[in-house]
Amino acid sequence: MSIVNVKLQARPASPPAAIAGRPALQKRFRTEFGHESGLYRAPGRANLIGEHTDYNDGFVLPAALELSTWVAAAPRKDRILRFKSLLGGDALEFNLDDPAPSPRHDWSDYVRGVAVKLQVAGFPLEGADMLIDSDVPIGSGLSSSAALEVSVGFALLDILGVAVDRVTLAQACQRAENEFVGMHCGIMDQFISCLGAAGHALLLDCRSLAYRQVAIAPSVRLVVCNSMVHHKLASGEYNKRRADCEHGVALLTPLLPGIRALRDVTLAQLVAHQAALPEVTFRRCRHVVTEDERVLKGVAALEAGDVAEFGRLVNASHRSLRDDYQVSCRELDILAELAWGMEGVLGSRMMGGGFGGCTLSIVRTEAVKRFTSDMAKGYTAATNLTPEIFVCSPGDGVSVVAPSESAA
């Protein structure tokens, strides 16, 4: 992995040679908590195509990244979950036996929410000490929240000596974000963090949770460009877009009996019933319906070795997110449009919830070095901002780096 100007809320990504141990985190854990720990990691993700389709029961094509959240963890003899992040703040703790756990409305809700939902799912958690670090940029559309949830959940289950079912873990982490944190996300981010495979993206049917691996040609790299902006309206607008989609389904259901989500609506049906929908609702629905089509066409293109066609679909995805779903912003559009004009770039689009964060570009391997240089210069000239640029390959999902003594 190569990085240009990594600097914001997360620590710089470790080079591959350093990933196999993170001994510094375990050493810091001994200093903080006075005993030994196991070590766990869960990745962030890049969604190649399929944006805002997961909560509409649709299709997505994410890939796990080498960027990860790391948790050093060890069991306690009481029912206290005590944890601290190296990204800032004091150690926090709560009692697993609290009969009415409530959110604090800060980052700790992701940790506590996972513990709460694992207990609801029937796992008899033990108390634990945890020290957390991450090189997934926060708030940038690379799913730092899911990486935190999955790494914590996996660590808590491994401490129990439980054989972790990764789909069950993904579902519990999604419920934590939906029901405890209050972010109404789909399951894609948690799913890929649990089930990613090196060298592959994952085609996921978000209704059935059926999935299959899709190889990514070694002739291309995934280049993530962080716009360095995070507009405050992002989370509220995300929930509004979900409500827009649900409103569209409610209006279409009397006209198309049997539909449960936009996943069940074809573009021809949507266009035929356009008059039944407010203009904004129609545009939101049109993005989701056409994006599902792009995901399936994109998988077919990758499996046929046609990376150029895949790139064209990625570009179309950005235009749809910009024009119909209206979740892009000036900075994301600049990044995408700069990439579209560069040699060796097959496609580029905004990624994540929108209103800031990152773009993903599909770049031929031989063009990556020039791309990163030209992109950094071009974006800075247009915005006076210095982007973070990550050159990535698809990585593995959550894993034990070093088991805790209780689970060894």
- Among residues 57, 189, 264, 324, the one annotated as catalytic is 189
* Sheet of strand 2-4: strand arrangement: 2-4, 388-392, 220-230, 356-364, 345-350
- Answer whether 4's CB lies under 8 Å from 389's CB: yes
Name, in order, each residue with C-beta under 8 angstroms of 395's C-beta and a sequence gap of 6 or more. Answer: 43, 63, 64, 65, 66, 68, 196, 198
Taking the C-alpha atoms of residue 52 and residue 354, their distance in angstroms, rounded to an integer, is 10
Q: 403: number of CA atoms within 13 Å, CB side?
A: 11
Taking the C-alpha atoms of residue 262 and residue 45, their distance in angstroms, rounded to an integer, is 24
Taking the C-alpha atoms of residue 142 and residue 46, their distance in angstroms, rounded to an integer, is 6
End-to-end Cα spacing for the chain: 31
Type of residue at 291: E
- Answer whether 116's CB lies under 8 Å from 35's CB: no
* β-strand pairing of 128-134 with 80-85: parallel
Taking the C-alpha atoms of residue 205 and residue 394, their distance in angstroms, rounded to an integer, is 19
The alpha-helical segments, DSSP class H, found in 73-223 are 108-120, 144-160, 166-175, 188-195
Q: Which of 64, 65, 58 is nearest to 296 (CA)?
A: 58
3-class SS at 186? Answer: coil
Sign of the dihedral defined by the CA atoms of residues 80, 108, 180, 202, in that order: negative
3-class SS at 279? Answer: helix
Taking the C-alpha atoms of residue 133 and residue 221, their distance in angstroms, rounded to an integer, is 26
Structure token digits, residue 282: 């129609």
**What is the Cα gyration radius of the chain?**
21
Whether 78 sits among the annotated catalytic residues: the reply is: no
Residues marked as catalytic: 189
